Structure 1
Amino acid sequence: MRVAYLSASGRIGGAERALLDLLASLRAAEPDWELHVVVAGEGPLAERAAALGATVHRFPMPRLLEALGDAGGGSRAALLARLLAAAPAGMLWLRRLRGLLRSIAPGVVHTNGFKMHVAAAMAMPERARLVWHIHDYVAARRVMASALRHFADRPAAAVAVSRSVADDVRRVCGAGMRVETVYNAVDLDRFTPEGDRIPLHALAGMPPEAPGTVSVGLVATMGLWKGHDVFLRAISLIPRELPVRAYVVGGRIYATAGSEVDPDELREMAGALGIADRTGFTGFVEDSAAVMRSLDVVVHASTQPEPFGLVIAEAMACGRAVVVSAAGGAAEIVSDGADALAVAPGDAAAMAAAIGRLIGDADLRARLGIAGREKAKREFDRARLAREIVPLYRSLGM
């Protein structure tokens, strides 16, 4: 089997971590398979994929095409203008992509990211089978929803990261599309309760926490809907007498214009809320497992339904108590009160109450952490990925 994976980004976000986990799982299960990764952006993904034994093809996307997207909203007219500006370079890049795929001659082309779903649909070599790996909701993206609906007859199958995403794909692309739900996974040898930690206070330029302080962190990309503002408002609602240090861990990673919040604006917001003295901003940290272990509580604050919530699974694997904005795929993978505390998305008061409850109850933090680790071992072990993806590939007749 020869498989070509196409990634629109070279940086490491949730979708890219999921791709690396899939590569690792397939390499262990099918060592004779030939795995190729086409990386369209700058960043560490190429090196990480090569370390897993994949043949990497660096294939930079034109800047105008890289920045094109509808994640940040905006008018149709403005988006159309950007699309027209990107079209000449984009068509040349597509012709080159078609040539690259012909030279690889894969049996399966497995795409990561909306732009790559569309690009592969337009550049597929003959006799190859196309698989879209859907990590985000389609219907919320007006232009991409139209594009995927238009090309819905091209993929032989789609992989959705949750039942919620699978339902969304069928609504957009039609009930006739084959959609398989495959939850994301976690490297349980890396994401463990024991291991290295990181002095988050030093990264944030703050003094060490006083003894007894409970560290609470939002670990996320700077995506507009990741709920940074909700998290900050929640921290501001926690009584001053409770010993808490909050951290915002993450930085900008995507090139799509208008898709991320400005970290400087978040710092200004923390100051305006009066919590600058107990809220640190670390920027992007490569070792996310060490970050999890450095926190007592991990908060997931997405304001929109979460397609899956990889950070939730990773925090559980590290034995950390988790507060979850329970909607979409995130609601599928936690049980409120048993392995996490669930709140409604966007409800800063409810989030503050959940965080405050965990600050004051070390036994509850420990119980949730133990239960989360057990769930991760049962449901999120990345060895499962090959067991689910290999039969899918084989069923395509390759």
Structure 2
Amino acid sequence: MKAAGGTAQGKIVFLHSSNEMYGADKILLEVIRALPDEDRSRCVVWLPDDVPTGQNSLSRALDAMEVSNEIVPMAVLRRRYLKVSGLGPLVARMSRTFIKLRATRPDVVYCTTSAMVLCLPMARLLRVKTIILHMQEIWSPREAGVLGLFARAARRIFCISNAAKDSLPKQLKERADLLVNAHQDNKTTLVPVSVDPQPLRFVVASRWNAWKGHTPLLAAWDTEFCPGELVIMGGPPAVGTGVDVQSLASRVRHSNRITIVGEVDDISPHIDAADFLILPSEQPEPFGLVLLEAFARGRAVVATAAGGVVDIVSDGVDGELYPIGQPGALITSLKSLDRAAAVRMGANARTTYEKRFSIEAFRTRFQFLWAQEIVSVSPSRLNA
């Protein structure tokens, strides 16, 4: 029997492609927190077994929330599986995923990223009642043509930005809803931007993927003009092509003004100690959750004007935007900043966060979409 506001008695299975604590990982936690209590108690999160264990940051967070989670041999779309040598292992993983889904008999299958789209047709074949894709990427036209075939099996698609939704094939947009990311304000006392006349301090926090822009960023510290102090957080990606940030940083002209912190559990203290956050991505960001983390702490950002970023940042108001693919424009933007701009835009950034990106707004929107989807497949409603 269906509980009021909840699902039937089957499991709610989340299929996730990483075990870290970056954007998609944090949003998964917020989705689970936003579920009705009776639904949260039936959640299980399947995490991949084909990435280095590392810190297992996400599984540790799930344990702290008392949410069931398992390391599972899943069919995750990764570059290495798309080579001839990887097709056999991928087919084997698809078979194992299908068998486990069939044994679990979930009422809901929730694929948290596009990397899990191979599992959508499996859920449809098994007649799972609710099948959701949470789209946290921007698809290229080629990806839309291929991934869109698998995504047709999803009943609903939640998109984190207009850029992500716009990249969907036309026939999928009809079942897509906008679910803009948000960030939890930890309610601690905000640290104001310093007004002391000292060099500006910048911070960057992301995986060291090849497209995240660390190379053009460090080039700015290799010019005669030194923008200020730079703190680099993050680390090499568990899968995919990375950049040797430490080696690059050691060779630039102003390497003495660069500090590499690496991966941390909480980036807030480093944002508090900075004047600006930089997001120098060389490909459009689907959203850019780290921007909200900076806004929540009252810090303005410097970022490329593409993808979901333009839905967040107002150029010259709460941040500085520059054209993507133009590293020289990044240097120009950094030269234009001063302490007065840091104070003014930082205050505006906090206002933007409070008005548009609070966790309360996210939960309200998610709960509306969740109730709408669950009610639509409720047997009692269908038989009414």
User: What TM-score, normalized to structure 1?
Assistant: 0.81
Aligned length: 355
Match of 1:181 among 172, 178, 181: 178
Specify the alignment match of 2:78 in structure 1. Answer: 68
Could you tell me which of 224, 244, 251 is aligned with 2:210? 224
**Residues 154-169 of structure 1: pairs in structure 2 closer than 5 A:** 154-169=153-168
| Structure 1 gap segments, 5+ residues each | 71-77, 196-209
Q: Which amino acid aligns with 1:248?
A: I
Against the structure 1 CA distance between its residues 123 and 96, is the aligned structure 2 distance closer, same or farther, given a 3 Å change threshold? farther
Residue in 2 that maps onto 1:368: 345
Separation in structure 2 between the aligned mates of residue 226 and residue 290 of structure 1, nearest angstrom? 22
Kept in 1: contact 2:221–2:253 (CA 8 A): no
**Shift in Å, 1:284:** 1.6
Matches within 5 A, 1:51-200: 51-61=64-74, 68-69=78-79, 79-84=82-87, 87=88, 89-124=89-124, 125-139=126-140, 142=142, 144-170=143-169, 174-175=171-172, 177-189=174-186, 193-194=190-191
CA distance, structure 2, for counterparts of residue 290 and residue 24 of structure 1: 24
Q: Is 1:40 paired with 2:22?
A: no
What is the identity, as a one-letter code, of the residue corresponding to 2:109?
V
Q: 2:12 aligns with which of 3, 19, 29?
A: 3
Aligned 8 A contact 1:97 1:123 in 2: no
Cα distance, 1:251 vs structure 2: 0.3
Do 2:318 and 2:349's aligned partners in 1 also have CA atoms closer than 8 Å? yes
- Structure 1: which amino acid aligns with 2:95? R
SS of 1:372's partner is helix
Give a deviation string over 1:140-192, Cα, whole Å, max 9, x none.
6x4x5444222232000111110011010135xx3564111111110111686
> Measured at CA, do residues 177 and 95 of structure 1 come closer, stay the same or move farther in structure 2, by a change above 3 Å?
farther
SS in 2 for 1:16: helix
Q: Unpaired segments of 5 or more residues in structure 2? A: 1-6, 378-384
Q: Which amino acid aligns with 2:129?
A: A
Alignment of 1:191-340 (within 5 A): 193-194=190-191, 212-237=198-223, 239-240=225-226, 244-256=228-240, 258=241, 260-267=242-249, 271=251, 273-340=252-319
- When residues 175 and 59 of structure 1 are mapped into structure 2, their CA distance, relative to the original with a 3 A threshold, is closer
Q: 2:214, 2:245 within 8 Å by CA — same for their partners in 1?
A: no
The 2-side partners of 1:19 and 1:323 are apart by 26
The answer to whether residue 35 in structure 2 is matched with residue 22 in structure 1 is no
Identity of aligned residues (%): 25
- Would you say the 8 A contact 1:192–1:318 is kept in 2? no
Aligned mates of 1:146, 1:67 — CA distance in 2: 15
Alpha-carbon contact 1:130-1:155 (below 8 Å) kept: yes
Using a 3 Å threshold, how does the CA distance of structure 1 residues 192 and 177 change in structure 2: closer, same or farther? farther
Equivalent residues of 1:38, 1:58 under 8 A apart: yes
Report the alpha carbon displacement of residue 101 of structure 1 after superposing the two structures with TM. 3.0
**Is this contact kept in 1: 2:144–2:167, CA < 8 A?**
no
1:155 partner amino acid? A
Deviation at 1:47, TM superposition (A): 1.8
* TM-aligned CA distance change 1:277 to 1:333, over 3 Å: same
Give the TM-score of the pair, scaled to structure 2.
0.83
Q: Distance in 1 between matches of 2:272 and 2:293?
A: 10
Q: 1:239 and 1:83, CA in 2 relative to 1: closer, same or farther beyond 3 A? A: same
